Amino acid sequence: MPDPPPDPDAAPLPLAAVITELDPGGAEQAFLRVVLGLSQRGWAPHVFALRGGRLRESFVSCGVPVTLLDSLPGVDPRPLRRYLREERPPAALSFLFHANLLTRLVAGSAGRPAVVCGVRVAERRRNGHRLLDRWTARLVDRWVCVGESVRRFCVASPLAGGGGLPAERVVTIPNGVDADCWADAAPADRAALRLPPHGPVALFAGRLDVQKDPDTLLEAFARLDRRDVHLLIAGDGPLAERVRLWAATHPAGERVRLLGRREDLPALMRLADVFLLPSRWEGTPNVLLEAAAAGTPIVATAVDGTAEVFTHEQTARLTPVGDAAALADEWRWALDHPADAAAMAERAQGLVLQNHRWEAVVAAYDALLREAISERSARRRG
């Protein structure tokens, strides 16, 4: 059970909460739940975002102030620096690489709070992120990884392609899910989605970019020998135009519905007969926890945190990365064996309800922040 909240009569602790953007992706939704949860456990967070987005109103409506740092031609760090110097928060919590980097650089020259940086994925692209993390490691009190596979990657030697971060300061706190929201949602209306009254529906939800690999998803759909299946694609991103072109020109494209960003994912999950996520890499993807909570059978690639949480044939059907034939085979199995797929989904739902409730996740962040503050205070006294 989570530890009880701190004394409600104690003065709330200021907290700088920093994120790259506020559009509602998986990391951003997790940030929202963690920050709002901390506001109920003795913290007074102030959100700083490098770019805005629709989640801003979610914070403001709950009484959490939001300051945007976006400024042509880049980011203006002065509001964050001013907050750290004037309010003297004992801790700063950040999510995503650019917010992590900005937070530790600004904090190093303004108040020096305990800095906790969230790591969402094992970043394997050659983009300089790992090198910058190592160069600024001395400015970070804790890194929080969403899964053990991400933690192992972060502490592995750079010579082996890892992050090279100090293992004693890298911890794991898993993602959470609002199980009741997903399990109790009413299925989306088929007619509103231009779907026929009957027939299987498959759903993909995520950013349309290289990481999520929509190309393999579409190739697998083309390989299905089930002409009664419709595919819903919820999301946007740099590959969106390529996906639209495929849907407009491929014979199977007439059975694809491009939905863009959606606010009704629980209803879409409850409608779908199978949820697909062919990612090339992941931390612990929130969207799979949400699919499991909704009771939707999962077909996904066996990457990083996905394979850490889900077991092939027990709680999901897992395939190799980039293997459209294997993805199509497992997709077909889920549609051809609905009773077995439903039993698999029920086991996945039980797993998520047991291990990924937000209450426990927020309590873990609360304890970690207080531990980092205590250690930093002890170093200053020493």
Residues 100-146 have pLDDT tens digits of 999 999 998 887 899 999 998 777 666 678 889 899 999 999 999 98
80 and 90 co-located in one domain: yes
CA dist., res. 226 & res. 220, Å (int): 12
Q: What is the pLDDT, as a whole number, of residue 25?
A: 82
335 and 200 co-located in one domain: yes
The tens digit of pLDDT for each residue in 313-323 reads 999 999 999 99
76 and 101 co-located in one domain: yes
Q: What is the mean pLDDT of the chain?
A: 92
**1, part of any domain:** no
pLDDT-derived band of residue 194, with 50, 70 and 90 as boundaries?
very high
User: Can you give the pTM of this predicted structure?
Assistant: 0.81
CB 266, CB 291: distance < 8 Å: no
Give residue 376's domain range: 13-176+357-381
**166, part of any domain:** yes
Q: 254 vs 227, 245, 329, 332, CA distance in Å?
A: 11, 12, 21, 19
How many residues in total does the chain contain? 382
Within a 10 A sphere around the Cβ of 312, how many other Cβ atoms?
A: 13
> CATH number of the domain that 162 lies in?
3.40.50.2000
119 and 212 co-located in one domain: no
- Counting residues of the chain whose pLDDT is more than 90, the rounded percentage is 76
Which region among 171-185, 344-358, 359-373 has the lowest average model confidence (pLDDT)? Answer: 171-185
Task: Give buried/exposed letters for 176-210 (b at 16+ CB in 10 A, else e).
Answer: bbbbeebbebeebeeeeeebeeeebbbbbbbbbee
Q: What's the number of domains the chain is made of?
A: 2
